[in-house]
Amino acid sequence: MIFDHRDKLLMIGDSITDCERKRPYGEGIHGGVGKGYVAMVDALLTSAYPELSIHVTNMGISGNTVRDLKGRWETDVLELSPDWVSVMIGTNDVWRQHDQPTMKKSHVYLDEYERTLDELVERTLPKVKGMILMTPFYIEPNPQDTMRAMMDQYGDVVRGIAEKRECIFVDTQRAFEPLLRERHSSMIAWDRVHPNPTGHMVLARAFLQAVGFDWQKGQ
Catalytic residues: 15, 191, 194
Q: Would you report the helix, strand and coil content of the chain in percent, each value rounded to 5?
A: 50, 10, 40
| Long-range Cβ contact pairs of 173-176 (< 8 A, separation 24 or more) | 173/135, 173/137, 173/138, 175/137, 175/202, 175/203, 175/205, 175/206, 176/137, 176/139, 176/202
Q: How far apart are CA 71 and CA 176, in angstroms?
A: 30
Peptide bond before residue 24 is cis, with ω within 30 degrees of 0: yes
Provide the residue type at 166 as one letter.
E
- Burial class from Cβ neighbours inside 10 Å (0-12, 13-18, 19+) for residue 132 reads buried
